């Protein structure tokens, strides 16, 4: 089931994607279930928004694909998930602008699979991780690479407003089998990998992160980016595609 958050006629609602229509839900499905209002909105008439605004945080995993570790100058991937956070104020939706800050001279894309947490999660065992997942979407961990290197830690480089595009929908029944991720800039393929190349699985990431801090409904986990990260400049259109999830598209300005 594909869940969208959208704007139509001045109101923001959630809906189930049904081919060319959105079946309007009575409430946020994460808290109110999947009861519908009976209204249908043509997808062409709706503006898709970020499918979730994290209640507290975006949890990110660095260096979770071996080829990306190598391109960043490392030899061995981290033995445990390398965690960092992005503020929820960095989140934008499909087709929103990625604002390039004047403080940085090199902004880069990082296409990623995103996990949406659906219930309070603390000290979750890997075998129980699926029970706390609401669904999956697509993310772009936009990074000011020069500031990342300058600061020696990642908060500023990863935390600017608009540096976490999410969308276009949340898929509640996502299948990893044969799934791939691909990032394109102005139509040119920059990143491409099977999701099976992730070093640390989604279940292991949730277990590791939830042993550190409580995950709340609506929190998002970005699971890492494959090799091929590169610069974007004003006017560039970035598309991140994941099998079964669609395409997240944003333009830099």
**Mean pLDDT, the chain, as a whole number?**
97
> Where are the chain's structural domains?
2-48, 58-252
Q: Is 0.95 surpassed by the pTM of this model?
A: yes
Residue 75 pLDDT exceeds 80: no
List the helix and strand counts (H, then E) for the chain: 5, 20
Confidence of residue 156 (pLDDT cuts 50, 70, 90): very high
Confidence of residue 55 (pLDDT cuts 50, 70, 90): confident
Residue 177 pLDDT exceeds 80: yes
Quick: pLDDT tens for 85-131: 999 999 999 999 999 999 999 999 999 999 999 999 999 999 999 99
Residue 23 is predicted with a pLDDT of 98
Confidence of residue 221 (pLDDT cuts 50, 70, 90): very high
Q: Which numeric CATH code is attached to 58-252?
A: 3.90.850.10
Instruction: Extract the tokens encoding 161.
Output: 């407003």
Q: Domain 2-48 in CATH: superfamily?
A: FAH (2.30.30.370)
Residue 217 pLDDT exceeds 90: yes
Residues 6+ apart with CB under 8 A from 225: 64, 65, 68, 110, 111, 112, 141, 191
| Residue 67, beta-bridge partner list | none
């Amino acid at each position: 089931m594909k869940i969208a958050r959208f704007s139509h006629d001045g109101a923001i609602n959630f809906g189930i994607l049904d081919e060319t229509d959105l079946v309007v839900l009575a409430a946020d499905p994460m808290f109110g279930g999947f009861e519908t209002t009976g209204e249908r909105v043509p997808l062409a008439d709706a503006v898709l928004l970020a499918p979730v605004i994290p209640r507290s945080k975006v949890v990110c995993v660095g260096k979770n694909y071996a080829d990306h570790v190598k391109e960043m100058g490392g030899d061995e991937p981290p033995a445990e998930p390398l965690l960092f956070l992005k503020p929820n104020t960095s989140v934008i939706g499909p087709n929103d602008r990625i604002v390039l800050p004047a403080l940085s001279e090199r902004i880069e894309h990082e296409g990623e699979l995103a996990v949406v947490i659906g219930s309070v999660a603390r000290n979750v065992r890997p075998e129980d991780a699926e029970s706390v997942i609401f669904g999956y979407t697509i993310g772009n961990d936009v990074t000011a690479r020069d500031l990342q290197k300058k600061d020696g830690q990642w908060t500023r480089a990863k935390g600017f407003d608009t540096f976490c595009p999410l969308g276009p929908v949340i898929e509640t029944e996502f299948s990893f089998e044969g799934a791939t991720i691909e990032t394109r800039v102005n139509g040119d393929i920059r990143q491409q990998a099977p999701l099976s190349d992730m070093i640390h699985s989604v279940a292991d990431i949730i277990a590791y992160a939830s042993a550190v801090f409580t995950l709340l409904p609506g929190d998002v986990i970005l699971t890492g980016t494959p090799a091929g990260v590169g610069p974007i400049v004003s006017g560039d259109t970035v598309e991140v595609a994941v099998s079964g999830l669609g395409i997240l598209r944003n333009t830099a300005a």
